[in-house]
Structure 1
Amino acid sequence: MSTMTELRLTRGESKHSQDMQVDKKLPGKVLGLCSTRYGLALIVHFCNLSLVAQNIIMYITMVAMVNSTDHQSLLNSSTEWLPVDSLGGGNKTPKSLPAGGIGSGGQFALWEKWGPPHERSRLCSIALSGMILGSFTATLLGGFISQALGWPFTFYIFGGIGCVFCFFWFVLVYDDPVSHPWISTSEKEYIMSSLDQQVSSSKQSLPIKAILKSLPCWSLCFCCFSHQWLLNILIVYTPTYIGSVYNVNIRDNGVLSAFPFIGSWITGILGGYLADFLLTKNFRLITVRKIATVLGNLPASAFIMALPYVNSNYITTITFLTISCGLSQLCQAGVYINALDIAPRYSSFLAGVSREFSQIAAILVPIITGFLLSQDPEFGWKYTFFLMFAINLLGLIFYIIFGEADIQDWAKERKLTYL
């Protein structure tokens, strides 16, 4: 009697392996900071630094490029002012800076195959923190280089730095541990075994309809949008606020507006280590992601909203700005890497979509803020900061309610099984 063969389509594992925190079946930890995976994180860190610095330098030197005979504009540009009247506009309004790829999809394709689940927070945070350091470097040095050597040298210097890091990228970065020629056998086995239940070489079509119906995906997009609104206020309007309220010297303004980024850089890296530490203490993955996201949104936006009420104290204002800028980067260990949790197979796509969605904020912030400030110079800053807080809070609430960290059903590997 012949047996009957039935073809059935089954889903992959029903529970996210990360939600079990540190898998006890994984081999013992191999080298940490001196390992290949941390070396890749450092390379991505400096590549992000170069990328963001070159983007910001473009805005810093734009006035000088349009009117190279106006030497004073070289100093003004160091504070990220972009006088629209010099470009044919009518009002002096600071333009929004590009986010430089915070949470960009391409990096997640790397960590999908290189980042053990219980180390992803710190690896991603190390890599993404290069963006904030790039903002600090360009904001601090761009104006000085333009004044001392001329605006073309800002492109020569930062472009040369980018070429150096690009060389390291091409030589040292590989798609996965298997293809890397210099990784140790123990580290290769460690990474591959930790990703055994998540990474697959099989190709599957992108489930567009399922993604569009997924509330966790929409929560990522809305939260990234609201946080990007906060970041644009911090990066673009911090020097504007300092200059307009305290009439600080333009040169000092450039230094002061760059200072809070140092705190952000440190906090961003430490936040990733803290998130992974909480995972080892039996915190659920979604709890860690939401804690990091709340701390990176609510206190940061609250400190900014409080600025008009402490404008009589210059030191307090700088302190609030520094704390806000530092706390905002905790989201790197929260919402910005959550795409790797809910859909590791499609994390690069989801991260790219959420980033592009967040760029809407980068377009709207200068338009709306410029309008508010032009209509009511006295209360314009209050309206600007209150609106930022409201948008930030709404995006955060949406993420707290609908955000998840389990692999979604549509993102699980489909296997053909014969019975």
Structure 2
Amino acid sequence: MSTNYFKEYPNQEGFYQEYGGAFIPPQLEEEMKKINEAYFAISKSHKFISELRDIRKHFQGRPTPVYHCNRLSQKYGGQIYLKREDLNHTGAHKLNHCMGEALLAKYMGKKKLIAETGAGQHGVALATAAAYFGLECEIHMGEVDIEKEFPNVQRMKILGTKVIPATHGLKTLKEAVDSAFGAYLEDPINSIYCIGSVVGPHPFPMMVRDFQRVVGIEAKDQFFDMTGELPDSIVACVGGGSNAMGIFSAFLDDQECKLYGVEPAGKSLEKLGDHAATMTLGKPGIIHGFKCYMLQDEKGEPAPVHSVASGLDYPGVGPEHSMLKDMNKVSYESISDKECIDAFFELSRLEGIIPALESSHAVAYALKLAKENPKKSILVNLSGRGDKDLDYVIDNYGLPE
């Protein structure tokens, strides 16, 4: 990896080698250009950086800690650590980029924030940012996910946000993105689409990655302070891939650190529509204005997907992840619904930490790694807390004895 990695990727057209770009309607090209220019202007501004740092410290509660899982490590082997993004305000890593995107919107004179959400964490985070800056907010969410993640829907409404149900197709994350893009197209002058992951047309994959880099920067320093060395493995769940890019970004030059992105094997990898294993079984294609690995049907269209975790059931993935896969810099693995649920309860019972189902995929893979490598250290990005998932888990899986 080049030491100028972040200056090289993406290039000026927004490509990470062959992935990324901006495949968008002509009426959005000028708006994307304005967003790109505004981002580069303020991201170099001392005033913007100072305000964002102040928000992170005094409003978000950063830095979030790194925690050693003593009982989990004793049971499974290895030394398992968690980067506690569940302790970030609103309960997940999403606020890291939402506060940055809302600050950018304010700088550009936008009046309204529009976004999609799957598990609701991005929606809650953006609703929080909108309330903080006094902006309107509209969140699009699949009907299936609205029912599944009802506590987060209520949180968004309490924060003053309008929640729009996506009622077409499978009524999950992809359809929410479709719906949100449509709403943004109606008024791109006064609104801004605040994408919830490292996906979408350029410059959003770059912007979200840059705002999430704080996770990796903190974690690297914290882990070294705690242990005197770097972790042997870093593990993060991958849907679109924002939390993973956030923590991976700090370790891309460290050859001794193995990076693992964990996606949903769902109910089965054998049948299209039963999983969301984009990196494992997908191939390059274009979705929502960018090129990436994508699960496709026989017509080359985005395939139906499934995951117990609403925030991971997306048929595409971030373009930077697609590049890192081709470069063999990150190993992309998959975890089934059952393994995810088992890890959800294990972390809860052994460490007193209830993880989000998205994060439970990473925890599940870390437990596998610990068994296979009992003398190695593993750092998991615990991207969110599981309050939002309690009703769904209990209703569908019950409580273990």
Instruction: Give TM-score scaled by structure 2 length.
Output: 0.28
Task: Name whichever structure is richer in helix by fraction.
Answer: 1
| Larger RCO (alpha carbons 8 Å, 6+ apart) | 1
Greater CA radius of gyration, 1 or 2? Answer: 1
